[in-house]
Amino acid sequence: MKWLLGLLLSGAAAAQTLVGLDGSRVSLDGLRKSGKPLVLMTWCSHCACCRSGEKTLLELARRYPEMDMRALDAQFNDDAKQVEAYLKRQKLKLPVLFDPRAGLCRVLNIRTSTTAMVWDAQGEMRYFGNLAGLSKALGQLHAKQTVVPPSTPQQGCPILFVENLDKLNRP
C-alpha cells in the first residue's frame, strides 16, 4: 500500500527542489512537467543494493531514450565530489540529483534505496515501488497501457537520515 501513499502525496512531492552534481537547483515540478516521462530511483554511491539498480537504470535508459532517467541520491553523507569520483571510476554516465535533507524521500515516505518513481509525460505519478517492477511499468507506460502498481514492498538498503546519526553513535 506504500505505492498508494506515494501516489496520494505526489502533489506535495512536486514542491521539492533537488540539486544537480554541478550545484544547480532543479525543481521536481519542472522535471515532471517537461513533456517527457520522468524516472527517479533512490541511490547512493556506497550502497551495495544500488550496484544492480544503476545497471538496471542505464539499461532502461537505453531501451527508452524518450524517458528522463535519473538517480536520486538521498544519503545525507554523499557529496558531489564523492559521487563524481565514483561515477568516473565506474565509467557510468548516470545523471544524479541530490535530495537535500531527504525532503522528497520524507514526503513520499521512502526508506530504502532502489525505490523507483515514475511520472508520465503529463506529470502524473504512475509508479512508486521496487526496482524489480520498474521494467514492466516502463514497458506499460511506453505502450500507453495502464501501469499496474507493484504488489511487493520497497526493497533495498535503508536510507540513512541525519537524525539517525545519534542512534548509530550510541553503544
Of 33-37, 58-62, 89-93, 149-153, the range with the lowest mean pLDDT is 149-153
Backbone dihedral angles phi then psi of residue 40, each to the nearest 5 degrees: -120, 140
Please check whether residue 9 is in contact with residue 111, taking contact to mean a CB–CB distance below 8 angstroms. Answer: no
Can you give the pLDDT at residue 1? 44
Domains of the chain: residue spans and CATH: 2-169 (3.40.30.10)
Can you give the pLDDT at residue 35? 92
Can you give the pLDDT at residue 94? 86
Q: Which three cell numbers stand for residue 9?
A: 502525496
Q: Does the pLDDT of residue 15 top 90, yes or no?
A: no
With a pLDDT cut of 70, the percent of the chain lying above it is: 79
Higher pLDDT, 154 or 146: 146
Higher pLDDT, 149 or 89: 89
Give dist(CA 134, CA 74) in Å, integer: 19
Can you give the pLDDT at residue 170? 40
Can you give the pLDDT at residue 68? 94
- What is the average pLDDT across 141-165? 70
Cα separation of the two ends of the chain? 35
Can you give the pLDDT at residue 9? 52
Can you give the pLDDT at residue 87? 92
53-107 confidence digits (pLDDT tens): 888 899 999 999 999 999 998 776 678 898 999 999 999 888 999 988 778 888 8
Give dist(CA 69, CA 114) in Å, integer: 13
- What is the average pLDDT across 159-170? 47
Q: Does the pLDDT of residue 36 top 50, yes or no?
A: yes
Q: Does the pLDDT of residue 164 top 50, yes or no?
A: no
